[in-house]
């Protein structure tokens, strides 16, 4: 399959290239960038030196239509609304890495993103690109809306217990620690490394835009869900750790949790259940999934406070973005969905 990447100079574009250049059944034919058109891709992404001689080119619909079968759109939020319909009309399949088609309710864009969606009639055409929930729909989709990284961490930690009806769906608190790459390759003063280093900073404490995705997807599994959601900027480049506080409807045991987790994730290639009694990594830790498409899921029961804590760890650039996009691509192609994604993390790092 011939692949194009629109907006290939950013961090998500870099990860897409890293994964797709190693993919045995695709060829990356077009990588666009307005700012770096004419430059070698490896000048912006030095880890790709020796792997490709591709150059960034200006975005040109005719060239994309001529040279591609599927296009990844890695544009800023809001930039895909009018671009994606044009690509679809040209006969191309699209995997959109932005937020522009993730939400089904157009009003949520006004609430959480502050703008009115320009193509609300297309929202129901897009398939939410989380394979663990939508694998069958992804197989035949023409438009995939890849989830947000923090939403992925929250949904994968909550889906089994919500689906099993184990917890109160109106009392869920998601606390996330997020690496700086989640802010993209164009830093603000808040995400600039000297300002971020050595600190732990809460941001978007209430009303975070990923709330809409999480509530949308979890409500499809049970009764309406309402979550509290607060991320923190921490001193790491990659990774998300979600600590999720929930409150069981009745007394639960470890066996109940294992039954729910294994029932949903027992055959999932990129979900690992992590709860050990020995060693320093007894629960999920983003350090261990760095560079991989794994999401590690664990739990602890707090009998004293009547609380169930779920933990998820993932690499925000891989399972939280580009890796998930490639996993969806593999499903769409009808091939082993782990293709080009079978990599372990590094230890130590």
Q: Which of 339, 310, 316, 317 shows the shortest CA–CA distance to 327?
A: 339
Token output for 170: 């109106």
Cβ burial, residue 142 (10 Å; 0-12/13-18/19+): middle
Q: State how far the Cα of 289 lies from the Cα of 172, in Å rounded to an integer.
A: 25
Q: State how far the Cα of 72 lies from the Cα of 17, in Å rounded to an integer.
A: 11
String of DSSP letters for 19-50:
HHTT-TT-EEEEEE-STTTTSBHHHH-GGGTT
Q: Which residue has the tokens 């808040």?
A: 190
CB 295 within 8 Å of CB 270: yes
User: Known catalytic residues?
Assistant: 149
User: Which residues have CB under 8 Å from 180's CB, separation 6+?
Assistant: 191, 193, 196, 233, 236, 237
DSSP SS3 for 127: strand
The H or E element containing residue 110 is helix 106-112
Partners of 202 in the β-ladder: 232
Q: CA 23 from chain center: how many Å? A: 20
Q: Sign of the CA dihedral 115, 117, 123, 126?
A: negative
């Amino acid at each position: 399959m011939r692949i194009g990447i629109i907006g290939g100079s950013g961090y998500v574009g870099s990860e897409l290239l890293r994964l797709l250049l190693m993919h045995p059944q695709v060829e990356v034919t077009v990588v666009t960038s307005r700012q770096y058109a004419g430059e070698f891709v490896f000048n912006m992404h030095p880890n790709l030196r020796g792997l490709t001689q591709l150059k960034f080119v200006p975005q040109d619909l005719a060239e994309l239509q001529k040279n591609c079968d599927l296009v990844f759109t890695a544009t800023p939020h809001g930039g895909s609304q009018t671009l994606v319909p044009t690509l679809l009309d040209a006969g191309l399949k699209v995997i959109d890495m932005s937020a522009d088609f993730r939400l089904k309710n157009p009003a949520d864009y006004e609430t959480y993103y502050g703008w009115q969606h320009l193509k609300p009639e297309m929202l129901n055409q897009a398939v939410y690109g989380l394979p663990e929930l939508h694998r069958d729909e992804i197989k035949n989709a023409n438009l995939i809306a890849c989830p947000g990284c923090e939403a992925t961490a929250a949904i994968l930690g909550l889906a089994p217990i919500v689906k099993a009806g184990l917890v109160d769906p109106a009392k869920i608190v998601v606390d996330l620690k997020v690496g700086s790459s989640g802010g993209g390759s164009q830093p603000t003063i808040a995400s600039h490394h000297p300002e971020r280093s050595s600190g732990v900073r809460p941001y978007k404490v209430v009303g975070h835009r990923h709330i809409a995705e999480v509530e949308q997807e979890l409500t499809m599994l049970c009764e309406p869900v309402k979550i509290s959601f607060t991320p923190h900027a921490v001193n790491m480049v990659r990774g998300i750790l979600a600590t999720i506080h929930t409150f069981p409807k009745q007394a639960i045991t470890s066996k109940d949790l294992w039954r729910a987790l294994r029932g949903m994730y027992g055959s999932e290639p990129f979900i690992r259940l992590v709860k050990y009694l020995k060693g320093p990594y007894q629960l999920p830790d983003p350090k261990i999934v760095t560079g991989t498409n794994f999401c590690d899921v664990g739990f602890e029961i707090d009998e004293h406070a009547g609380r169930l804590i779920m933990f998820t760890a993932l690499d925000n650039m891989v399972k939280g973005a580009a890796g998930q996009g490639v996993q969806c691509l593999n499903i769409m192609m009808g091939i082993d969905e782990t293709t080009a994604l079978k990599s372990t993390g590094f230890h130590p790092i």
